[in-house]
C-alpha cells in the first residue's frame, strides 16, 4: 500500500527558498513596467533563443531555480510590446500594475469562476453590474465576462440567432429553414465572419453593407437590403453596427442602424470592442449615442479599459435570450440550495466555457483602484493624442492620412513618387517593419482602399506627447533610408 512518505506533491520542498525566488520574480515584474520607457518597444527573438523553444519536453524537472532562470532569460525579454508607451498596434492595451497583482492573486486563489458560490461569482456579477450602468443598459440585463471581443461577439450572435431561429432549431439545428442572414458593414471585424462560420450560418450569412467616405456604414441602404433579401426568401435576423472599426476607428450611426433594426423586427448588436469605452468620457459619449438601445453589446476590458490580457464582456438586454444558446441539463452541474454549488445563475449557461479563470478580479481591482472617471479622462487624452498625430501627419511633406480621425485611430502612409503602387506598398511595409524591429514604436498595418496602410490606434495610458514626435521623426528618417535603397525619387507633397 502506498504510504504518506511515498506521496509526491507540487508544493515546494523548501518554502523559504521558493518565497525568496517568488519575491525576486515579483520585483522583476514591477521593474519591467516601471522601466518600460527605456526599453525597446519590441525585440526580435534571436535564433539562439528560438532554438531553446524547440527543445523537447522535460521528463525530469530542472527545479524551480533553473526553471525561473529560463523564464528570465528566454521569455521575459520578449513581450508583444503592449506595455510600451509607443505601442499603438492593432487595438492592444497595456494593462496596469494593479491588474497584474490581481491576476497573480486570481492565480493564487485558482477559482473556477462563475459556476459556484464563491467570491469569483460575486465579483463578476458586480463588475457586469457596473458595466451595465456605465453603458446605459438596464439593470436586469445579462452580463458575462469573456476572453475578449471575439467571444463576446460570438455569444451575442448566438443569442441573436436563437432568438430568431425556428423554435425547435436548438434540437434539430438550422437545416431546412430559409437561410438566416445578418447585416454588417464592409468594415466589420473579422470576428463576426468567424462567428457566422462557427454558428453554422456560413459566410454568405454576412450581408455586407457598403460604407461611405468616412468608413461608416451606409445606413440608408439597410432597410432596402433587408426588404430585398426578404423578397428573395432569406431570413434576416440581425443588424451589427461597430463603434470603432479596426481599420480606421470609424463609428457607425448607431441611432439610425438601431432604428432600422427595430422597425424591421431584427436584433441590434453593437461591436464596441474598444470604441464602446468612449461612453466613459463626457467628451466622446455623444459618439456612442444609441448604443444603450442595443439588444447586445460586446466590448473588451483588455483594450481601452487597460485591463491585463485577457478579458472582454458581453451585455445582453434580456436574460432569457442570453441563456437560450447555452442551456443544457447536466445533473452534475445543477445548482443546490446551499454549499459550493449554490449558484443560481451559473456562467456555463451564458457562454461556451464551463471552467473559466477569475478574469473579473483584475477588472474589479483596477476599477476600484482607478475609478471609472480616470478611465474616461484617459480615453479623452488618447483621442486628443490621435488628433495631434493627425495634425503632425497633415503638416508633414512626406506623410499622408487616408481616413478621418473619428476616435483614436490614425490611418496613414508615407508618400512616394517614382514607384509603382505595388512598390509603394512594399516601401511602406518595409518602413513599418524597420520601425518595429528597431524597437522604436509599434504602429500596425492594414489595407485601406486596396493600398498597404499604417495605422496608430492610440489605446495607451503611457503615451506622452513626445512619443508622437519620435514616431513621426522615425517615419521620415527611416523613410528616406528605405527610399534610397529602393530607388524611389522623393516623397514631396504632390
Ligand atoms: C472592432 C473589433 N471587434 C472585435 C475585436 C476582437 O476582439 P478580441 O481581440 O478581444 O477578441 C477587435 C479586436 O481588435 C476589434 O477591434
> What is the pLDDT, as a whole number, of residue 344?
87
Angle at 484 between CA 482 and CA 486, to 5 degrees: 70
Domains assigned to the chain: 21-49+63-96+371-494 (3.90.1150.170), 111-327+335-358 (3.40.640.10)
Q: What is the best residue among 148, 154, 245 to mutate for testing ligand 1's pocket, by most ligand atoms within 8 Å of CB? A: 148
β partners of residue 446? 453
What is residue 194's three-state secondary structure?
helix
Spatial contact of 291 and 256, defined as CB atoms under 8 Å apart: no
Mean pLDDT of 9-31: 97
Instruction: Tell me what pLDDT residue 491 has.
Output: 55
CA 485 / ligand 1 centre spacing (Å): 36
Q: Ligand 1 pocket by C-beta < 6 Å: which residues? A: 90-91, 148-150, 153, 189, 191, 242, 244-246, 271, 273-274, 300, 312
Q: What is the pLDDT of residue 490?
A: 57
Does pLDDT of 492 surpass 90? no
pLDDT in tens, 21-46: 999 999 999 999 999 999 999 999 99
- Please determine, for residue 215, whether its predicted confidence score (pLDDT) is greater than 50: yes
* Distance (Å, whole) CA 456 – CA 409: 6
Predicted local confidence at residue 494, as pLDDT: 41
Q: Is the pLDDT of residue 216 over 60?
A: yes
- How confident is the model over 435-453, as a mean pLDDT? 98
Mean pLDDT of 454-467: 98
Residue identified by cell 480606421 is: 248
End-to-end CA distance of the chain: 86
Give the tens place of pLDDT for each residue, 74-89. Answer: 999 999 999 999 999 9
What percentage of the chain exceeds 90 in pLDDT?
95
Residue 486 confidence (pLDDT)? 86
Q: What mean pLDDT is predicted for residues 294-311?
A: 98
Q: Whose CA is nearest to atom 16 of ligand 1?
A: 246
Express each pLDDT in 359-414 by its tens digit.
999 999 999 999 999 999 999 999 999 999 999 999 999 999 999 999 999 999 99
Ligand 1: distance of its center to the CA of 207 in Å? 20
CA–centroid distance, 190 to ligand 1, in Å, is 8
**Cell numbers placing 71:** 523564464
| pLDDT, average across residues 116-126 | 97
Q: What is the overall mean pLDDT for the chain?
A: 96
Please give the pLDDT value at position 221: 98
Ligand 1 center from residue 335 Cα (angstroms): 33
Residue nearest to atom 7 of ligand 1 (CA): 149
Rg of the chain over all Cα atoms, to the nearest angstrom:
25
Indicate which atom in ligand 1 lies nearest the CA of residue 244.
1
Tell whether the model's pLDDT for residue 358 goes beyond 50: yes
Query: 143 CA to middle of ligand 1, Å?
Result: 18
* Ligand 1 atom index nearest CA of 303: 10
Q: Is residue 243 predicted with pLDDT exceeding 50?
A: yes
Question: Which residues have C-beta within 8 Å of that of residue 446, sequence separation ≥ 6?
Answer: 246, 247, 411, 453, 455
DSSP code per residue over 441-485:
-B-EEEEETTEEEEEEE---SS--HHHHHHHHHHHHHHHHHHHHH
Q: What is the pTM (predicted TM-score) of this model?
A: 0.97
Q: Which uninterrupted H or E stretch holds 239?
A: strand 235-242
273 C-alpha to center of ligand 1: Å? 5
Say yes or no to pLDDT of 306 above 60. yes
Q: Are 113 and 147 in contact (CB under 8 A)?
A: no
Amino acid at each position: 500500500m502506498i504510504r504518506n512518505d511515498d506521496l509526491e506533491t507540487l508544493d515546494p520542498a523548501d518554502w523559504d527558498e521558493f518565497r525568496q525566488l517568488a519575491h525576486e520574480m515579483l520585483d522583476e515584474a514591477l521593474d519591467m513596467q516601471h522601466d518600460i520607457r527605456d526599453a525597446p518597444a519590441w525585440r526580435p527573438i534571436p535564433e539562439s533563443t528560438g532554438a531553446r523553444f524547440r527543445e523537447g519536453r522535460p521528463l525530469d524537472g530542472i527545479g524551480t531555480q533553473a526553471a525561473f532562470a529560463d523564464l528570465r532569460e528566454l521569455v521575459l525579454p520578449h513581450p508583444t510590446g503592449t506595455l510600451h508607451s509607443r505601442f499603438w498596434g492593432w487595438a492592444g492595451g497595456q494593462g496596469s500594475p494593479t491588474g497584474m497583482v490581481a491576476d497573480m492573486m486570481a492565480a493564487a486563489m485558482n477559482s473556477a469562476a462563475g459556476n459556484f458560490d464563491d467570491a469569483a461569482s460575486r465579483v463578476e456579477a458586480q463588475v457586469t453590474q457596473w458595466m451595465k450602468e456605465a453603458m446605459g443598459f438596464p439593470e436586469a440585463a445579462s452580463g458575462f465576462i469573456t476572453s475578449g471581443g471575439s467571444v463576446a461577439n460570438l455569444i451575442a450572435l448566438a443569442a441573436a440567432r436563437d432568438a430568431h431561429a425556428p423554435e425547435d432549431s436548438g434540437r434539430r439545428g438550422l437545416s431546412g429553414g430559409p437561410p438566416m442572414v445578418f447585416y454588417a458593414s464592409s468594415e466589420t471585424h473579422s470576428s463576426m465572419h468567424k462567428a457566422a462560420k462557427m454558428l453554422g450560418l456560413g459566410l454568405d450569412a454576412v450581408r455586407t453593407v457598403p460604407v461611405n467616405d468616412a468608413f461608416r456604414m451606409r445606413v440608408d441602404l439597410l432597410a432596402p437590403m433587408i426588404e430585398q433579401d426578404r423578397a428573395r426568401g432569406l431570413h434576416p435576423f440581425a443588424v451589427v453596427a461597430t463603434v470603432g472599426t479596426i481599420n480606421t476607428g470609424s463609428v457607425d450611426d448607431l441611432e439610425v442602424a438601431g432604428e432600422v433594426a427595430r422597425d424591421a423586427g431584427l436584433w441590434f448588436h453593437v461591436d464596441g470592442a474598444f470604441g464602446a469605452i468612449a461612453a466613459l468620457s463626457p467628451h466622446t459619449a455623444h459618439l456612442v449615442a444609441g448604443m444603450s438601445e442595443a439588444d447586445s453589446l460586446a466590448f473588451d476590458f483588455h483594450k481601452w479599459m487597460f485591463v491585463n490580457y485577457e478579458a472582454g464582456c458581453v451585455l445582453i438586454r434580456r436574460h432569457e435570450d442570453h441563456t437560450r444558446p447555452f442551456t443544457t441539463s447536466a445533473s452534475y452541474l445543477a445548482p443546490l440550495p446551499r454549499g459550493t454549488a449554490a449558484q443560481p445563475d451559473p456562467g456555463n449557461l451564458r457562454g461556451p466555457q464551463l471552467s473559466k479563470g477569475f478574469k473579473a478580479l483584475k477588472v474589479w481591482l483596477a476599477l476600484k483602484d482607478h475609478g471609472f472617471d480616470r478611465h474616461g479622462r484617459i480615453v479623452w487624452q488618447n483621442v486628443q493624442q490621435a488628433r495631434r498625430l493627425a495634425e503632425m501627419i497633415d503638416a508633414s511633406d512626406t506623410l499622408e492620412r487616408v481616413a478621418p480621425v473619428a476616435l483614436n485611430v490614425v490611418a496613414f502612409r508615407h508618400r512616394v513618387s517614382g514607384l509603382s503602387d505595388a512598390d509603394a506598398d512594399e516601401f511602406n511595409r518595409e518602413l513599418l517593419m524597420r520601425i518595429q524591429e528597431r524597437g522604436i514604436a509599434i504602429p500596425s498595418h492594414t489595407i485601406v482602399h486596396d493600398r498597404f496602410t499604417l495605422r496608430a490606434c492610440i489605446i495607451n495610458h503611457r503615451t506622452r506627447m513626445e512619443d508622437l514626435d519620435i514616431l513621426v521623426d522615425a517615419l521620415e528618417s527611416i523613410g528616406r533610408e528605405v527610399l534610397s535603397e529602393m530607388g524611389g525619387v522623393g516623397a514631396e507633397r504632390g
